């Protein structure tokens, strides 16, 4: 497997579809980039971004980018050395404090999210590494989960005080009575 990092500029990006193409600095053919290759990026890519990536060959035999990152954008990952019992305890305390803030009357009316399309830093603290959003429909009350790259994923905001939550796997979401979002 090729572990060499390449660099290129994102020339095309279809945010609604979650893919685009990178023009390698080496001047070779454009490389396909899927949003799933940017799992730990701190934001969605934009045309003109410098992308670092590895090359991999898919099951279909086509070459594509993998393990990609956006130059100058911080990663959302938590270093392995921080994934300790005390770190997990800290996550729990922060989560409880956030939920308590939502129930107390002694806070400013400012929302927990910034209104941007980027995920709130709070959401990445509450359950790092788990990227499936468990949302409860306002209209129907149905419990649906959204996977990264799905159409409504970026606009979905999780509010734990309403019973919404994060899942690490689709099977975990299903086992807890949630159904996959239709788009």
- For position 125, what pLDDT does the model report? 39
Looking at 70, 93, 121, the residue that finishes a domain is 70
Q: Is residue 133 situated within a structural domain?
A: yes
In this structure, are 101 and 172 located in the same domain?
Answer: yes
Is the model's pLDDT at 118 over the cut of 70? no
In this structure, are 95 and 176 located in the same domain?
Answer: yes
In this prediction, residue 87 has a pLDDT band, given cuts at 50, 70 and 90, of: low
Q: Which residue has the higher pLDDT, 102 or 111?
A: 102
Alpha-carbon distance 104 to 109, whole Å? Answer: 11
Question: Two tokens at 43?
Answer: 């934001």
In this structure, are 48 and 88 located in the same domain?
Answer: no
For 57-71, give the secondary structure using H, E and C.
ECCCCCEEEEEEEEC
Tally the domains of the chain.
2
- For position 143, what pLDDT does the model report? 92
In this prediction, residue 99 has a pLDDT band, given cuts at 50, 70 and 90, of: low
Q: Which residue has the higher pLDDT, 22 or 107?
A: 22
pLDDT tens, residue by residue, 13-25? 999 999 999 999 9
Question: Two tokens at 165?
Answer: 């939550």
Note down the domain range covering 139. 80-180
Q: Is residue 75 situated within a structural domain?
A: no
Q: Is residue 1 situated within a structural domain?
A: no
Across 97-117, average pLDDT: 53
pLDDT tens, residue by residue, 47-68? 999 999 999 988 888 889 999 9
In this structure, are 52 and 129 located in the same domain?
Answer: no
What does the chain look like in DSSP terms, one character per residue? -----EEEEEEEEETTTTEEEEEETT----EEEEGGGGTTBSS---TT-EEEEEEEE-TTS-EEEEEEEETT--B----GGG-SHHHHHHHHHHHHHHHHHHH-SSS-S--SS-SSSSPPHHHHHHSTT--EEEEE-TTT--EEEE-TTSTTTTT----GGGT-EEESSHHHHHHTT-EE---
- For position 153, what pLDDT does the model report? 85
In this structure, are 57 and 98 located in the same domain?
Answer: no
In sequence order, what are the beta bridge partners of 53? 6
In this structure, are 62 and 91 located in the same domain?
Answer: no
> What CATH number does the domain containing 27 carry?
2.40.50.140
In this structure, are 114 and 51 located in the same domain?
Answer: no
Alpha-carbon distance 176 to 47, whole Å? Answer: 38
Question: Two tokens at 100?
Answer: 């308590």
Whether the model clears a pTM of 0.85, i.e. scores above it, the answer is: no
In this structure, are 88 and 174 located in the same domain?
Answer: yes
In this structure, are 109 and 86 located in the same domain?
Answer: yes
| Cβ–Cβ under 8 Å, residues 5 and 37 | no
């Amino acid at each position: 497997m090729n572990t060499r990092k390449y660099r290129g500029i994102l020339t095309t990006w279809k945010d609604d579809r979650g893919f685009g193409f990178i023009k390698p600095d080496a001047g070779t053919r454009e490389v396909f980039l899927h949003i799933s290759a940017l799992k730990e990026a701190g934001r969605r890519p934009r045309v003109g971004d410098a992308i670092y990536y590895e090359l991999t060959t898919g099951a279909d035999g086509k070459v594509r980018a993998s393990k990609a990152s956006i130059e100058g954008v911080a990663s959302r990952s938590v270093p392995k050395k921080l994934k300790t019992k005390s770190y997990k305890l800290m996550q729990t305390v922060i989560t409880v404090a956030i939920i308590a803030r939502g129930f107390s009357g002694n806070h400013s009316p400012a929302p927990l999210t910034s209104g941007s399309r980027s995920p709130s830093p709070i959401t990445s603290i509450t359950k790092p590494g788990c990227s499936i959003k468990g949302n409860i429909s306002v209209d129907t009350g149905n419990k649906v989960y959204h996977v990264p790259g799905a159409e409504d994923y970026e606009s979905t905001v999780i509010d734990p005080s309403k019973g919404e939550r994060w899942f690490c796997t689709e099977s975990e979401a299903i086992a807890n009575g949630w159904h996959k979002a239709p788009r």
